């Protein structure tokens, strides 16, 4: 169903968790991949596992750095067919306790960097007269979540922005969609107390945590020609905990 051979793919945050699962799927489908992240050790580790990929360390909070380096990185890759904006951070706090830097840092990484990457990717995609962008959001961008005003705002912003860009560039044969994960099993969730996990399962009808491949499967579908009549949409992958 999916043909990604020689497709040039840029993935942010592809060295661990959901991003790693997405990178693995594209790699196994013979794509040419560049992954961007902030932790050079994690990037080098994934490079060792998948030696054909390109890696680059970038601070997604630094918009000037992004604007300077992203065009060069795309040129080095030989262009861009698919962009997956996956990288994100959390700095949780109750609103009255939230420091300004906790708000700004999350918005810079989770929303502003996505906008900048979309801008530069679309410039190249217009030249190619085709392109595909998949933005990773979150269930809490739809439901809200106590202690995460910054994170939920960033994820909801991605959804609205994706719809706007989808409308702007559909006639240029460029599609933009979102994947909205629910609660996904990662290294962090392994340490959750059993009692919390039991309570969590009560809100997930499928009665299990998601995994990286669940999200990667949705990304691959949206990035493929199998979804050629879909743009501006969000696929919810959450086991039923939120039904749009």
* Residues belonging to the active site: 151
CA distance 183 to 170: 31
Which of 201, 218, 215, 192 is CA-nearest to residue 13? 215
Residues 6+ apart with CB under 8 A from 142: 156, 159, 180, 236, 242, 244
Which residues, 6 or more positions from 90, have their beta carbon under 8 angstroms from its beta carbon? 106, 148, 151
Cα–Cα distances in angstroms (integers) from residue 113 to residues 24, 61, 63, 87, 174, in the given order: 23, 7, 7, 9, 19
Q: Are 2 and 224 in contact (CB under 8 A)?
A: yes
CA angle (88, 93, 97) in 5-degree steps: 135
């Amino acid at each position: 169903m999916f043909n990604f051979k020689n497709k040039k793919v840029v993935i942010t945050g592809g060295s661990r968790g959901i991003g790693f699962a997405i990178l693995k799927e594209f790699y196994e489908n013979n794509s040419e991949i560049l992954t961007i992240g902030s932790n050079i050790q994690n990037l080098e580790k994934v490079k060792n596992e998948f030696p054909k990929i390109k890696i680059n360390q970038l601070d997604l909070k630094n918009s000037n750095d992004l604007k300077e380096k992203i065009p060069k990185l795309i040129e080095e890759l030989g262009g861009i067919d698919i962009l997956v904006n996956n990288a994100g951070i959390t700095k949780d706090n109750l609103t009255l306790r939230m420091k300004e830097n906790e708000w700004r840092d999350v918005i810079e990484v989770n929303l502003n960097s996505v906008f900048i990457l979309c801008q530069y990717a679309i410039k190249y995609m217009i030249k190619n007269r085709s392109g595909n962008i998949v933005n990773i959001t979150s269930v809490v961008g739809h439901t809200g979540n106590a202690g995460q005003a910054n994170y939920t705002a960033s994820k909801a912003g991605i959804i609205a922005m994706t719809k706007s860009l989808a409308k702007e560039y559909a006639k240029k044969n460029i599609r933009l969609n979102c994947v909205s994960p629910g609660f996904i099993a990662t290294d962090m969730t392994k340490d959750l107390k059993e009692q919390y996990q039991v309570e969590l399962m009560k809100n997930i009808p499928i009665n299990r945590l998601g995994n990286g491949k669940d999200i990667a499967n949705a990304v691959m579908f949206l990035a493929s020609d199998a979804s050629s009549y879909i743009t501006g949409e969000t696929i919810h992958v959450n086991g039923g905990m939120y039904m749009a």
